[in-house]
Amino acid sequence: MTFPKPIDVIPHRDPFLFLTEVTNLSISESAEGYWQLSLDEDFFVGHFPELPTLPGVLMCESIAQLGAYTLLSDPNFEGFLPLFGGLDNVRFRRKVSPGERLELSVELSKISARGGKGHGEARVDGELACSCDLMFIFATV
């Protein structure tokens, strides 16, 4: 099944769009997708010059963007913008390098009119790179 492009659902734009495609979606509940890293992202130049490494906070952001896609695919959340309310239980397990594909998954829970919670993971070749618990709040646009 083909899903709308992230740029058509979430408000993020380059250079801060970290979701390439959504591959599975259960609206307002869960989703899977990926971020295909190129060799050209600017942050790799300085993080780190001798050993380019994807910053962990950007892994968390890519998971959060998939969560936003999951919510904003639901017409009930039209006119809302999910914003980070917090991160808990963040763990980084593997270095992610330029050119790798970051497979993302997110499951949302406890969604209300004010915000909600979720859990997400990022993997490369099936190996866990990052996991985190997300909290979000809704802002109106």
pLDDT tens digit string along 39-89? Answer: 889 999 999 999 999 999 999 999 999 999 999 999 999 899 999 999 999
Q: Are 73 and 9 in contact (CB under 8 A)?
A: yes
Query: 6-140 domain in CATH 3.40.50.11540?
Result: no
Average pLDDT, the chain: 96
HSE of 46, CA atoms in CB hemisphere, 13 A: 2
Res 113: pLDDT: 86
* pLDDT tens for each residue of 84-110: 999 999 999 999 999 999 999 999 998
Is-above-0.95 flag for pTM?
Answer: yes
Res 39: pLDDT: 85
Res 136: pLDDT: 96
Q: Which residues are catalytic?
A: 47
For the chain, the structural domain boundaries read 6-140
Token pair of 80 as six digits: 């809302």
Q: How many CB atoms lie within 10 A of CB 11?
A: 12
* Partner residues linked to 119 by β-bridges: 107, 133
